[in-house]
Amino acid sequence: MNLQAPAVRTVEDFLRWNEGREGRYEFVHGRITGMMTGGTRHHAQLMLELALLLKTALASGDYIVTAADYAVRTPFGVRYPDVLVEPSGANTGDSLATDRALFVAEILSPSSLATDFGEKAEEYTAIDGLAHYLVLSQDEPRVWLWSRGGDGAFGKPEMIAGSAETIELAGLGVSIALAEIYRGIA
């Protein structure tokens, strides 16, 4: 769904236009697009569990972990990932978006599959300083992890599957067991 809002031409215009607005929107390639609302219980559980696990693992105070309503600036516009990690002090408490994301995660739904693996993968991995992009299946312990290599480039995603497996987020210095993320789901 595309909305016409003639006064919205820049990321800053969009962030001001979107603040407090009903519904969920993103700004991509100069266009306002509608986002999915009304996700499943599994989607909500995974988002919360991943955010809480990251918050606990990154308890040093060097990072801020947010979920769903805080935006990330990409080279192509503004997205609202399901989970986001940025360095503490990167922004003030009243900021509407970060351009210093270190980690972003999206949880798959049937309607977001192509976008999460296509457009969003391209946009997120183009963010300077991003260490990891994670896509999670909502029905089984299976994730796809893009990680920035030592050469500064992102390679192909690594698929990690099974409740006995662990996600290594070297850029954040943490490991998270899939069994922990998917507790109560699979």
Containing 72, the helix (H) or strand (E) segment is strand 71-74
23-80: per-residue pLDDT in tens?
A: 777 778 778 877 666 578 999 999 999 999 999 999 988 999 998 888 999 999 999 8
Place 115 in a pLDDT band, splitting at 50, 70 and 90.
Answer: confident
155-166: per-residue pLDDT in tens?
A: 999 999 999 999
Report the CATH fold assignment for 39-181: tt1808, chain A (3.90.1570)
Q: Distances from the Cα of 67 to the Cαs of 13, 151, 154, 161, in angstroms? A: 23, 29, 23, 23
pLDDT at residue 130 greater than cutoff 80: yes
3-state SS, one letter per residue, for 67-111 = ECCCEEEECCEEECCCEEEEECCCCCCCCCEECCCCEEEEECCCC
SS3 state at 3: strand
Quote the pTM value: 0.86
Which residues does 1 contact at the CB level (< 8 Å), separation at least 6? 33, 34
Give me the pLDDT at residue 38, please: 56
Spatial separation of the C-alpha atoms in residues 147 and 178, rounded to whole Å? 17
76-113: per-residue pLDDT in tens?
A: 999 989 999 999 987 878 888 999 999 999 999 887 88
User: What's at 70, amino acid-wise?
Assistant: Y
Residue with tokens 């809480």: 52
